Amino acid sequence: MPAGTQEVRPRSGPDSEKITINLGYVDLGHIDLLVQDGFYANRTDFIRTAIRNQVERHAEAARQSVQRRSLDLGLRYFSRAELEALRREGQRLDIRVLGLVTIAADVSPELAQATIASVSVLGAFQASAAVKAALADRTS
Q: Which one, of 77, 82, 119, lies nearest residue 102 by Cα?
A: 77
* Judgement on whether residues 32 and 75 belong to the same structural domain of the protein: no
pLDDT of residue 15: 74
Query: Quick check: is 132 in a domain?
Result: yes
pLDDT of residue 14: 64
| Measured distance CA(65)–CA(29) in Å, rounded | 35
Q: Using pLDDT thresholds of 50, 70 and 90, give the confidence band for residue 4.
A: very low
Instruction: Kindly report, residue by residue over 76-124, the tens digit of the pLDDT.
Output: 999 999 999 999 999 999 999 999 999 999 999 999 999 999 999 999 9
Query: Quick check: is 84 in a domain?
Result: yes
Average pLDDT, the chain: 91
Enclosing H/E stretch for 121? strand 116-126
* Judgement on whether residues 94 and 123 belong to the same structural domain of the protein: yes
Query: Quick check: is 9 in a domain?
Result: no
| Measured distance CA(19)–CA(118) in Å, rounded | 25
Q: Using pLDDT thresholds of 50, 70 and 90, give the confidence band for residue 72.
A: very high
* Judgement on whether residues 78 and 29 belong to the same structural domain of the protein: no
Phi, psi of 113 (to 5 degrees): -65, -35
* Judgement on whether residues 73 and 130 belong to the same structural domain of the protein: yes
* Judgement on whether residues 48 and 76 belong to the same structural domain of the protein: no
* Judgement on whether residues 40 and 95 belong to the same structural domain of the protein: no
Q: How many domains does the chain have?
A: 2
Residue 111: which domain range? 69-138
* Judgement on whether residues 73 and 106 belong to the same structural domain of the protein: yes
